[in-house]
Amino acid sequence: MLAHDPAVVAVPTGAGPDHLGRLHERLLAPDERKGRGAFYTPPEVADELVGWAVRDLDDPVVCDPACGGGAFLLAAARAGVRRLVGIDLDPLAVAVAEASLWLAGATAELVEADSLLDPWPEPVDVVVGNPPFLSQLGAATARTRERAAAIGASGYVDDAVLFLSLAVRLARRRVALLQPESVVSATSAATVRAEVAAVLQDLWVPDRSVFADAAVRVVGVLVDRERPSPSPARWVDVLASAHGVPEVGLGGHGVLGDHATVAAGFRDEYYSLVPLVREAQPGDAPIVTSGLIDPGRLRWGERPARFGRRRWERPAVDPAHRPAWAVALGVPKLLVATQTRVVEAVADPDGTTVPVTPVLSVVPDGDLGLAHLLAVLLAPPVTAWARREAGGAALSSDAVKLSASQLRQVPLPPAGAAWDEAAEHAEAGEVHLAAAAMTRAYGVDVQDWWEARLAYGSRDV
């Protein structure tokens, strides 16, 4: 379906060959663009990825297996590549790519085909491109059972990740493909990460949003089949390094899960509270969302919260009407927020609060009390560890989103005076002093990095 808005087809003065691809994208209705994963790559992005992929290569065959309007083929032509191959399911996209290349004074072998099913035209040295991102969690982009069986896809793996797997098998030398950032941590992509790990050279991380109309963060996966690594790095570590997250060596003294139970809420628990929430009355149990948690400080009653699609000043529930799961959590615990720049946790020593998903609850069940466990979660090295463990999982590329299982694996420091001091500061709400003491307890100093993140992302901490 075409978007019938004459404004979108205006051709700016001096428009070059890349404009045809952008025009083709904009002529598609938004729903169709999303369903196809048809978003045109900015020329400067394509140039950077192609430049890496073809550097020092003599007359390579460069293929884009989902070429769309030809952004990557044009970039390859600008880089001096003469042997170009483009494949796409959409006949109009193939025609647009052909016209764009003609305007640029270049040619390519262009084929209307399904790269995940049909054989590629010839052996290729380099694979580049921006394959369609088709999340299997959305009705508009989920594949049919027949399609899944035909391409050998299982579970929720994104089609873009399947393109990556195929490209690494077929490219003789290098691969540079855009991927959703979730490829770094998604369970559905684990098999492909393992396949690619030995030849993964780096992850290209953009310094700005690449696709303004697509709510997705991207990375460029850079693979060199001629330079396998004897000890492949973890994808999350490669991404963290690209974001400037310091390396930290923690461990050897047990983990948080040895001394506490970590609980994550479920969506049905969330919805069970929706009809019960009200503005707080005397004796009510406060409902706590992630937005009401700052490091070492609960903001309930100080700032409004969104819950059940409504704004509340002091969201609460009558204790007598709490669901069974909320009653079970009516014990002393820590509340841990998600989607934050540093790990944010606060103590609920009286057990009066009701945390709602995605807040995590940490209930001590060993010899460590709330204050010592809170000090661990306020420690700067733990935020650095978390950024490396959970890369790509948060809604923001610069946020922390630990799962319950990951939170259980938070490494503890050795017992000693520094940790005891930090626990005292944490209990008193002295976050910066607790952080300094925990820096000494772990023997890893990333406090300046942590302080900068805290100052940027918090309110009045």
pLDDT of 6 reads: 39
| Residue 189 in this model has a pLDDT that exceeds 70 | yes
| Residue 307 in this model has a pLDDT that exceeds 80 | yes
pLDDT of 19 reads: 58
Q: Name the residue type at position 441.
A: A
Domains of the chain, earliest start first: 6-242 (3.40.50.150), 256-457 (3.90.220.10)
| Residue 203 in this model has a pLDDT that exceeds 80 | yes
pLDDT of 439 reads: 97
Q: Above pLDDT 70, what percent of the chain?
A: 87
pLDDT in tens, 88-122: 999 998 999 999 999 999 999 999 999 999 999 98
pLDDT of 152 reads: 84
Query: Between these two residues, 335 and 25, which has the higher pLDDT value?
Result: 335
| Residue 13 in this model has a pLDDT that exceeds 80 | no
pLDDT of 397 reads: 62
In this prediction, residues 189-212 reach a mean pLDDT of 85
Query: Between these two residues, 3 and 315, which has the higher pLDDT value?
Result: 315
Q: Tokens 């890496």 map to which residue? A: 52
Q: Residue 101: which of 121, 128, 75, 138 has the closest Cα?
A: 75
pLDDT in tens, 128-164: 999 988 776 776 777 888 888 888 888 888 899 999 9
Q: How far apart are CA 360 and CA 344, in angstroms?
A: 11
Q: Is the pTM of this model over 0.75?
A: yes
